[in-house]
A = this chain, B = another copy of it.
Amino acid sequence: MTGQIQGNLLLAQGGGPTAVISASVRGVIEEAKKHCCIRGIYGAKNGMDGLLNEDFIDLRKESEKDIKNLAFTPAAALGSCRRRLTEEDYPCVLQVLKKYNIKYFFYNGGNDSMDTCNKIASLAADQDIKVIGIPKTIDNDLKFTDHSPGFGSAARYAAICTMELYKDVESLPIHVCVMELMGRNAGWLTAAASMAKINENDGPHLVYLPERPFVEKEFLNDVKMWHEKVGGVLVVASEGIKDAKGNPIAESGIIDGFGHKVPGGVAQHLSNLVISKLGIKSRSEKPGLLGRCSIPMQSCLDREEAIKVGNFAVLSAVKGKTGCMVAIKRVSNDPYESEMGLVPLKKVANVEKKLPDKYINKRGNGIELSYKEYCLPLLGEPLPEYVSLRKTPLEKI
């Protein structure tokens, strides 16, 4: 293609990792190697920290095998950071990009990172530097994309763990079990636990999301009712649930170095409520970060899309696009098909996509069946089918 800008490529990663964030690194590198206008292929070590410190990795020196296997490796291969750039940082970023003749800059991250990416794109616009955002988030809270790479795998993890935990609790129904899942402001991921429910009485029996106020009294009533009905109750709650006033329901009582209250464990708090207020045995589980880095529970679809998103970012930049984030458009649901597109970073930056009302039941303690249509295809391979024996009773003598 004529008129393509010759120069180097820089890729950086920001925010929390996912199980497929490095699949996007593979996607960028493999596509970049196909375009001779791209000379150096660089990675910034630990996101914006590496960029500002000019701490770069030469990605052409990595083996093809390692690059391929990035798709099956959890966490951010280049390293990530949570640094929020100040107004003074931005001119420095631009200076570094120019100094290293970066003509293609990609930032792989979530909400905050897309805001950063947008600002860099604006500054770089008249410098012939192409800037593209590559989405990732297990929270699935990026707008203008059907879903974000990373969500499908985390959702698959949530669904399988809920299934397995319910099998365990059902087989030894001696306690109410509360599991906490990630997603501080958006309930997409917690809602995926409901994919584990096959029959009416299966767990999860109660699901609590940050989109609805948590009412302790209702929770206790509901747990009591389910306990009488099924014995082993399974509750799934988002780490971010809040009361009607918007306060986190669990505080650790700990103050961190900046004087901020440290949030406590939601699952342990709910479990303690069940023990102390209902006198029912209870325990809590909190897989936490494990839910965003599991390769055995990676979604194959998520992995493939994460690679494609990286490919498409490079393709778009080479075609002269800039100031955009790659977005996934769902073309068909059965069979699932998607295509890649672009959305202006300006629109995406700092907008949060919560779980829509239509997916949350009236009482705010469960997920509507319609969510299955949205979520299930993103989990990739069909969920495992675990045996429930027929248990034909033997006639008593």
User: What residues on B are CB-neighbors of A77 within 8 Å?
Assistant: 171, 387, 389
Q: A58-66, A141-149, A193-201: which one contacts chain B? A: A58-66
CA distance A167 to B17 in the complex (A): 10
On whether the beta carbons of A286 and B289 are closer than 8 Å, the reply is no
On whether the beta carbons of A74 and B164 are closer than 8 Å, the reply is yes
Count the A residues whose beta carbon is within 8 Å of the partner chain — how many?
Answer: 88
Q: A86-94, A117-125, A255-263: which one contacts chain B? A: A255-263
- Chain B proximity mask over A63-78: 1 for CB below 8 Å, otherwise 0: 1001001101111111
CA distance A72 to B386 in the complex (A): 7
Nearest neighbor of A26 in chain B, beta-carbon distance: B387
A1 at interface, CB cutoff 8 A: no
A136 at interface, CB cutoff 8 A: no
Q: Closest CB-CB distance, A179 to chain B, in whole Å?
A: 8
On whether the beta carbons of B256 and A281 are closer than 8 Å, the reply is yes
Known contacts A293-B167, A389-B77, A392-B61; is-contact A275 B287 (Cβ 8 Å):
no
Task: List residues 338-395 of chain A with CB under 8 A from any CB of chain B.
Answer: 384-387, 389-394
On whether the beta carbons of B386 and A73 are closer than 8 Å, the reply is yes
On whether the beta carbons of A296 and B296 are closer than 8 Å, the reply is yes
- Residue of A45, A79, A164 with most partner-chain B CB within 10 A: A164
Q: List 30 A-B contacts (CB under 8 A).
A: A16-B172, A45-B391, A56-B393, A57-B389, A57-B392, A57-B394, A58-B393, A59-B389, A62-B392, A63-B390, A69-B386, A72-B386, A73-B387, A75-B171, A77-B387, A81-B172, A82-B174, A165-B293, A168-B293, A169-B289, A177-B289, A252-B268, A255-B276, A256-B275, A256-B279, A256-B281, A257-B279, A265-B268, A265-B286, A283-B288
A interface list, Cβ under 8 A from B: 15-17, 22, 40, 42-43, 45-46, 54-59, 61-63, 66, 69-70, 72-82, 99-100, 160-161, 164-165, 167-174, 177, 252, 254-257, 262, 264-265, 268, 272, 275-276, 279-281, 283-290, 292-297, 384-387, 389-394, 396-397
